[in-house]
Structure 1
């Protein structure tokens, strides 16, 4: 099949690997423009461009996608299909309809759950124990198109967004190739999404990482995992930020005020949370300092009890 691929970050690269291995003809890769990265602000090429250039696949990086120019350029390539994975832009009708098979998207959730920009992070943060990928026929809505194929994946108890994303990406590549094989045999059955079950996985902002100690410890631990590496989970101690890196939920102590923290002998920092629960923090990073074990942090404070979130 003649395919134009639209995708930008590392999550999209396994789809390219899978398409190439399956013998599909990649006419072009469309990615977002190079962006400044790192302390020096040097331009960094997106992961899909890094994949495509050594393989001789043309790369397009338009600043705009809804002015008709990209659609005209892609139409000249006569693709059978647009395959999309984490491109990061909303496509207009000109792109969605230019190929005979339209545009098919690889989305990192079991739609209609977690439509939007950050499905992997929010699935973990909301305490899900299973997620997956959906191969979807794209329409003009936000991840609202008919589902063509889904494959599920377990969220492990210690998964973070960083560890789950590569497994979902690999599953997405395999599912995309499976769906295209069925499409070529006219064996795909589109299934409309149940909008009443839809949830939104909105883009993350920095303040999503701020810990509300009145929440149950299990919820705080899930958000820590879901928001790793960014924005992380953070709180304050005497006006200075402390980022929590590793923690787990346990039973708490009756009557302890949320945010009250004390040394837990030989283990780390015990912080009271909502509903009588507690969070045991084993690794953290104080503002302006390197990451360290919680016990080392306590030794530096030279006291065994204090209040977080202050």
Structure 2
């Protein structure tokens, strides 16, 4: 195509920022508009704050709208059509796009999804890959259609998951991978030289939205499952368990880091070790050695500091 392509970008969280920033810099792109979710109450003070994508768009001087919903929203659709987009790029937007939105771009509506489709279609592909113990994940660039992540795929990029990969680290890695994938494919998309391939029918599975209780640690499960939960929710929002008995009974304890191992303690029985860890018994004869944690109402700390307060006594976690 002649001249720069008119692109509208739709995204909301931090994950979408590397792609947005790439589009702002790309010589073939004229970023004419951004769509993001409405301002939400965030942080300790629960102040009304714009999404990371809206903040970046406003800083760059890009026209940005934040509709509460897209279905039957004629004003937002009119805004999109007035932009005359060649390409609509979607990354972690968080809303389903109605058919009129998918039909608006002259070339295609495309989505960068954080999995190797057709595995982990849906809302939480990063978390589901970690909780399932997948050893490989990646990102997929697909042409959007009305089904949930069912569109044909232009290209994929793979990313290994090691036994120490955390949710936060994997999210950052995939965000950069997604931006790089689109950058490599962009000229082919704009020239019409790329034809997407239908997703295979085998291997389809869905990444359901994470429920709050899924971050609760089940000490009766094997140590490897405890490890997956801890790594998946490390830092934010944090895997957690409750203290059973004693003056702190009923209070939450966030488990931020640790290692699975072998041992013979009863499930949930937590004992300080000489190395400064808090060793907790798990189902199947394993243990999980907590190295960093955060008691409810207190700052995060090394397990050694927490264990000093126990004075060598055991603790029951549930």
Q: TM-score range by the shorter chain?
A: over 0.9
> Equivalences for 1:215-294 in 2 at 5 Å?
215-238=221-244, 239-253=250-264, 256-294=265-303
Aligned partner of 2:147 among 126, 141, 145: 141
Aligned partner of 2:52 among 43, 47, 50: 47
SS in structure 2 of the partner of residue 88 of structure 1: coil
Gapped regions of structure 1 (runs ≥ 5): none
SS in structure 1 of the partner of residue 187 of structure 2: helix
> Equivalences for 1:1-310 in 2 at 5 Å?
1-23=5-27, 24-69=29-74, 70-238=76-244, 239-253=250-264, 256-309=265-318
RMSD: 1.8
The runs of 4+ residues in structure 1 deviating greater than 6 Å are none
Task: Give yes or no for contact 1:125–1:227 (8 Å, CA) kept in 2.
Answer: no
Task: Give yes or no for contact 2:107–2:190 (8 Å, CA) kept in 1.
Answer: no
Residue-by-residue CA offset, 1:100-142 (whole Å, 9 max, x unaligned): 2231001111111222222222222222222111101111121
Q: TM-score, normalised by structure 1?
A: 0.93
SS in structure 1 of the partner of residue 122 of structure 2: coil
SS in structure 2 of the partner of residue 197 of structure 1: coil
Corresponding residue pairs, total: 307
Shift of 1:68: 4.2
Residue-by-residue CA offset, 1:86-113 (whole Å, 9 max, x unaligned): 1110111010111122310011111112
Gapped regions of structure 2 (runs ≥ 5): 245-249
SS in structure 1 of the partner of residue 207 of structure 2: coil
Task: Give yes or no for contact 2:138–2:159 (8 Å, CA) kept in 1.
Answer: yes
Residue-by-residue CA offset, 1:55-87 (whole Å, 9 max, x unaligned): 221111112211142222211221111100011
Shift of 1:155: 2.5
CA distance in 1, matches of 2:6, 2:104: 13
CA distance in 2, matches of 1:29, 1:295: 47
CA distance in 1, matches of 2:10, 2:31: 11
CA distance in 1, matches of 2:241, 2:23: 44
CA distance in 1, matches of 2:262, 2:215: 23
Residue-by-residue CA offset, 1:218-245 (whole Å, 9 max, x unaligned): 1211111111234321112222221111
SS in structure 2 of the partner of residue 235 of structure 1: strand
Distance 1:296 1:56, change over 3 A: closer
Shift of 1:31: 0.8
CA distance in 2, matches of 1:78, 1:285: 50
Shift of 1:195: 4.0
SS in structure 1 of the partner of residue 240 of structure 2: strand
Task: Give yes or no for contact 2:235–2:256 (8 Å, CA) kept in 1.
Answer: no
CA distance in 2, matches of 1:109, 1:77: 30
